[in-house]
Amino acid sequence: MAASEPLRVRRSLTDIQADYEAGNKTELETVWRAWKGIKDLPPEDPNSFFVIGGYHGEPFRGAGWGSSAFWGGYCNHGNVLFPTWHRAYLVRLEDALRSIPDCAEVTLPFWDETSDDSAADGIPWALTLENVELDGETIPNPLRSFVVNKAIVDNLSPFPDADYSKPKGYETVRYPLSGLVGPADVDQTNAHNALYPDYDKNVKTLNDNIVTWLTAYAVVVNAKPVGMVQKEYQDCLDAPNYTVFSNTSSASEWNGNADVLVKPLESPHNHIHLAVGGYELPNQADFSPIQGANGDMGENDTAGLDPIFFFHHCHVDRMFWLWQQRYNSADALEVIEDYPGTNSVDNQGPTPGVAPNSWLNIDSPLAPFVNPDGSAVTSRQYVNIEAQLGYTYGPGSLADLATPPAPTAAAFGRGCRRRAAAGDQRAGDQPHDDPGFVPGAGVRERRR
């Protein structure tokens, strides 16, 4: 970005709501307007929410279209590209939002999941209101769901867990509802959802579930309590190096050989997905206090189709930035060579166009995102959000933890090899857990 350009500020959605309630409605209305705009675009438009929301998972492409040995979405989970790929994803979504008329200055707010407001009330109301007033009309809230405007067929079905096909006209749902509408599941889903006909009561149930996940242990899986997500976010800021901070696979290896255990950023991220969506499937896992709750956010295949995904990931990206400031990594990220979490087969399997058993590093392409000349973007271009990407974050919780901690000898664990600082694993010098749980964000184990 040009040095003279002011930084765009991603603000807390709670602060924007407070402005709205005080009569300063412009910023929140612009967010609603931009989201309505991209959702209304035809599904073939590259700026449409169908296209961009679908980058994460369905509709699948590449080898993962019909083979469970590969992942058919572009998202990276369980590997070192998890933070940087999702950072690039948010930038692409913001670019689309700013393409909508009268929305050229819009930025994506973050849901401050570690705030006192979230601990008390759950999800910000701007994401859950059923209807809103915009431009003199009452319209469905653009941030509460997405009505799929093109059919999605799950070509991996039949599969032991579920069919994630979505017919044209399907509307995404959240806990306590179920979004499993494939032929084998639709009758059971209809019966389950009929038990929850009141939208406002469902929002209260959802928020109660969020508060529990944030502040207490919500469920027990494999004899282990799961929850305390606000503490998990705080703990992840103590991870001593980028590799183990970034993902559950690397953290799992580290924790098997370390005196001090780490919590990767991906872990609390996963748990918010499960809290918002629910995930309860026979022979897979049960993260839903209410049996049968299988909302779209709980499953990697469909999570990107719910608008709340991006407000959640904006918070995750902010936690990433706080960690970078805390560990003097605002201009460089370092990856431990050949470590678990640095191979394309780790966790979810290879993404479209990526060969199995490929090493992942700072120069790995972040598909499907490209530069203006058509070349692939890499993590090197998504390290410093201010100098390279032109945005920063407004006030929010845990900001005091961006202060560097006392030096420690544990930055690299036993048996870890470290590339030289000038090697191809170091980023930023160019312009521009809970491993026993369900991988990814409630992602189904569709492989091997």
Distance CA 375, CA 430 (A): 15
Reported as a pLDDT band with limits 50, 70 and 90, residue 206 is very high
CB within 8 Å of 328: residues ≥ 6 apart: 404
Element (DSSP H or E) covering residue 277? helix 266-277
Q: Higher pLDDT residue, 258 or 314?
A: 314
Rounded Cα–Cα distance for residues 90 and 87 (Å) = 5
CB atoms within 10 A of CB 32: 23
Report pLDDT for 162: 73
Average pLDDT over residues 288-300: 94
Lowest model confidence (mean pLDDT) among 22-26, 276-280, 424-428: 424-428
Give yes or no for residue 433 having a pLDDT over 90: no
pLDDT band at 339 (very low <50, low <70, confident <90, very high): very high
298 in a domain, yes or no?
yes
Does a cis peptide bond (omega within 30 degrees of 0) precede residue 368?
Answer: yes
* pLDDT at 240 exceeding the cut of 50: yes
Over residues 174-182, the mean pLDDT reads: 96
Cα–Cα distance for residue pair 83/265, rounded to 1 Å? 8
pLDDT band at 64 (very low <50, low <70, confident <90, very high): confident
Helix (H, G, I), strand (E, B) or coil at 330: coil
Question: What is the per-residue pLDDT across 92-116, written as a single tens digit (0 to 9) for each?
Answer: 999 999 999 999 999 999 999 999 9
Name the least confident of 54-63, 186-195, 244-253: 54-63
**What does the pLDDT read at residue 446?**
37
Give me the pLDDT at residue 160, please.
55
Q: State yes or no: cis peptide before 59, omega within 30 of 0.
A: yes
Average pLDDT of every residue of the chain: 89
Q: pLDDT value at position 437? A: 38
Which of 337, 330, 325 minimizes the C-alpha distance to 250? 337
Q: What are phi and psi of 281, to 5 degrees?
A: -135, 135
SS (H, E, C) 85-140: HHHHHHHHHHHHHHCCCCCCCCCCCECCCCCHHHHHHCCCHHHCCCEEEECCEEEE
Whether 184 is in a domain gets the answer yes
Question: In the structure, what pLDDT confidence band is assigned to residue 67 with cuts at 50, 70 and 90?
Answer: confident
Stronger pLDDT, 430 or 3, i.e. the higher one: 3
Write the CATH number for 46.
1.10.1280.10
Q: Range of 30's domain?
A: 8-441
Evaluate whether residue 446 is within a structural domain: no
Average pLDDT over residues 230-246: 98
Q: Position 206: which residue type?
A: L
Is residue 207 one of the residues assigned to a domain? yes
Percent of the chain with pLDDT over 70: 88
pLDDT at 411: 52
Q: Which of 268, 266, 225, 259 is nearest to 242 (CA)?
A: 266
Asked if residue 448 belongs to a domain, the reply is: no
> What band does 252 get if pLDDT is binned at 50, 70 and 90?
very high
pLDDT at 158: 59
At residue 66, the pLDDT reads: 72
- What H or E segment, with its residue span, contains residue 218? strand 217-221
pLDDT of amino acid 424: 33
**Residue whose token pair is 């499953």:** 299
In a domain, 3, yes or no: no
Q: Assess whether pLDDT exceeds 80 at residue 228.
A: yes
Locate 297 and state its tokens: 């956010």
pLDDT of residue 224: 86
- List pLDDT tens digits, range 388-413: 999 999 999 999 999 887 765 555 44
Rounded Cα distance, 28 and 437, in Å? 36
Please report, rounded to a whole number, the percentage of residues in the chain having pLDDT higher than 90.
74
Q: Is 442's pLDDT higher than 70?
A: no
**Is 286 within the bounds of a domain?**
yes
Which of 413, 343, 441, 423 shows the shortest CA–CA distance to 81?
A: 343
For residue 240, the 8-state DSSP code is S
What is residue 68's predicted lDDT score, i.e. its pLDDT?
A: 73
Model confidence at 1, pLDDT cuts 50, 70, 90, reads low
Number of structural domains the chain divides into: 1
pLDDT greater than 50 at residue 225 = yes
Residue-wise pLDDT for 120-172, tens only, equals: 999 999 999 999 999 999 999 999 999 999 999 988 765 656 789 999 999 99
pLDDT number for residue 418 = 36
Give the span between the Cα atoms of 275 and 9, in whole angstroms.
28
238-251 burial string, b = 16+ CB within 10 Å, else e? bbbbbbbbbbbbbb
Q: ∠298-210-213 over CA atoms, to 5°?
A: 85
At residue 88 the predicted structure's pLDDT band, cuts being 50, 70 and 90, is very high
pLDDT at residue 266 is higher than 80: yes
3-state secondary structure of 194: coil
CA distance 50 to 39: 7
Residue 287 contacts residue 279 (beta carbons within 8 Å): yes
1 part of a folded domain:
no
